[in-house]
Structure 1
Amino acid sequence: MNQKGGIMRLAGKTALVTGASRGIGRAIAIRLAREGARVAVHYGGDHAAAKDTVSAIEAAGGRAFAVQTELGVPGDAEALWTAFDAHAEGLDILVNNAGILGGRSEIDGVTREGFERLLAVNTIAPFFITQLALPRLRDGGRIITVGTMLTRGAAMPRAIDYAMSKAALDVMTMALARQLGPRGITVNTVAPGVVDTDMHQGRLVGEALAWLSSQTPLGRLGTPEDVAGTVAFLASGDSGYITGHRCDVSGGTTM
C-alpha cells in the first residue's frame, strides 16, 4: 500500500523515464514511484531539477536515482544505458518522454538545422534508447512513449516539424508491439493535448489560454498529472491486454 492507501501496482519494478526532471516527465516519475516502482530519473542538464525530483520521490517514501545524459548527440543512448546500468540490473518499464518543441513556425520558417535537431532528440534518441533497452527489458515489461495529439486529427501548420518528429514514434509503437508480443511486452503511445507545463511558459495566458481551453469538452488544459495517470495505468498489470495502442489524452480536443 502507498501513503494514500492505494495498491502499489508497480512494487518490485524498475522504470526509466526520460526527461523526468520537469513537466510531464517529472509527474510520470513521481506517479510511478508512488505506485511502487524504483525510478531512474533521466535529465539532460538541469542538475537541480533532477535532484528535486528524486528528493520529492524519496520524501514520499519512494525510491529513485538520477541519470544524466544529453540527448540528440552521437552516443546518447549508449551513454544513458551505461549510466543506468551503474544503478540497476534490468528494466521493467521504459517511458520515452523527453522531447523538444522546435520553432513553432509554418514550413517556410523551418530551418534544416532546427528540423535535424528536432529529429535527433524526438525521434532518433528514443528509437535507439528503445533498441538498447530490449536486452535489459524483462519479459512482461512495458514500453510507453509520450507522443502528441498533433499526429492525428489536430494537425497544425505551425507545428509541422514537431508533429512529424513525433509521428515516427507512432509507427515504432505499432511495429514493436508486434515484435515484442511473444515476450509479453506491451508497447503503447500516450498522446497528450496541450498540457500546462513550463515548456509553454508565457504563452498560455489571456485569450490564448481561453481559446485553447475552449477546444476541449472539459473546458481546461491538461495537467502533467493527467498524462502521468494514463502512463501509470499502461505501466501496470491492469493494462496487460492493451498493446500497439495510441491513447489520446487531449481531453477530447481531437474529436
Structure 2
Amino acid sequence: MTRPDLTSIPGQTQEWPGTVGELEPAPDHGEESWTGRERLSGRRALVTGGDSGIGRAVAITFAKEGAQVAVAHLPEEEADAQRTKELVEQAGGTAHLFAVDLRDLEANRQLARDAVQALGGLDVLVANAAYQMTHDTLEEFPPEQVERTFATNVFSPFWLVRELASELEGNGGSVVITTSVQAYSPSDHLLDYAATKAALNNLVVNLAAELGPRGIRVNAVAPGPIWTPLIPATMAADKVEGFGSDTPLGRAGHPVEVAAAYVFLASDEASYVSGTVLGVTGGKPVF
C-alpha cells in the first residue's frame, strides 16, 4: 500500500478538537498498511486520546497484534472514537470506548476502574491524551490554557499510573507515555505544551526507577511532526502549510509510523527496555 504523500501539506484549519475526516491529505493509521505478528496476543491495553491521530493508530496496531483495547476520548470526539472502534473491530479486535475529560483526579480514577472492569485487567497503559493551543507571544497565553495543558498532559499520566500500578504489577506491565520532540527543541508558539513534554520525560525516568522493582517497565515515545487533527485544530493555516518539511526526512510522519514504537515498547521484544525515550521525529534529535 502506498501512503499519501506528506511532503507538501497545504494550509488548512479546523475547529478544535478537529476530526480525521477533514484532514488533507488523509493520514495512515495502519488500517490497511499494518501487518500483525501476534506480538501483543492476549494483552489488555488502555489508550488515552485514542479517537484519532497517534492514539487511533496505536489502538489499530495493538488490535492487529492481538490486544484488546480500551480507548479514552473527549466527549467532543465521539464521532472519531466510534470510527476508531469500527476500525479496531475490522482488524479483529475488541474496543471499549470511554468518553472522559482527564483533567481532574476523579476522572482518572474512574477511567482506571472502568478500563480494568471492561478488559478484565490491564497489561499496558498508553498515556497519549494531550492538549495544545498555539500563541505568538508569552502575554497571549491565557492562564486557564496553561492550567489545562498541564492538567491534561502531565497530571493525567501521573494519576493514571498511580491508580493502575497495582494492576500492572505482576503482569509484566508496560507504561508508554507520549512526550514530544518539543521537549528537546521547543517552539515559542507552543511554550506551555513544550514544557509539559519536558516534564513527562523526567517523569518517565523517575517512574521507571520507582516501578522497575515491581516488574513494570515505563518508557516514552517522542514524536516529531505527525499529521493529526491536532495540527490544523490548534495552529494557524500558515504554520500548517508545509508542516514537517523542516525535518531531515523532509516531511511529516503518518500516525502509523509512530505506532510502531508503541508496539515495540509494549511487547516482549522490549523486555529489557525501561526509562528510555524513543524518538520518532523524521531525523530531529531527541537528546
State whether TM-score is above 0.5: yes
Compare relative contact order (CA 8 Å, sep 6+) and give the higher one, 1 or 2: 2
Alpha-carbon offset, residue 253 of structure 1: 2.0
Match of 1:213 among 244, 254, 263: 244
Identity across the alignment (%): 36
CA–CA distance in 1 between the matches of 2:136 and 2:154? 19
Structure 1 spans left out of the alignment, 5+ residues = none
Alpha-carbon offset, residue 108 of structure 1: 2.2
Match of 2:181 among 142, 145, 149: 149
Q: TM-score, normalised by structure 2?
A: 0.81
Matched pairs, number: 251
Corresponding residue of 1:185: 216
Runs of 4+ in 1 over 4 A off after TM superposition: 3-6, 202-208
Corresponding residue of 2:65: 35
8 A contact 1:142–1:235 mirrored in 2: yes
Residues 41 and 207 of structure 1: CA distance in aligned 2, closer, same or farther (over 3 Å)? closer
8 A contact 1:68–1:80 mirrored in 2: no
8 A contact 1:190–1:246 mirrored in 2: yes
Alpha-carbon offset, residue 88 of structure 1: 2.3
8 A contact 1:90–1:138 mirrored in 2: no
Residues 74 and 145 of structure 1: CA distance in aligned 2, closer, same or farther (over 3 Å)? closer
- Kindly indicate which of the two structures has a greater share of residues assigned to strand: 1
Alpha-carbon offset, residue 159 of structure 1: 1.2
Match of 1:128 among 155, 159, 162: 159
Corresponding residue of 2:128: 97
Match of 2:92 among 50, 61, 64: 61
CA–CA distance in 2 between the matches of 1:13 and 1:28? 13
Q: TM-score, normalised by structure 1?
A: 0.91
Corresponding residue of 1:225: 256
Spell out the pairing of 1:77-92 with structure 2 (5 A cutoff).
77-92=108-123
Q: Does the residue aligned with 1:190 lie in a helix, a strand or coil?
A: strand
8 A contact 2:85–2:97 mirrored in 1: yes
Match of 1:160 among 157, 169, 191: 191
CA–CA distance in 2 between the matches of 1:207 and 1:110? 18
Structure 2 spans left out of the alignment, 5+ residues = 1-31
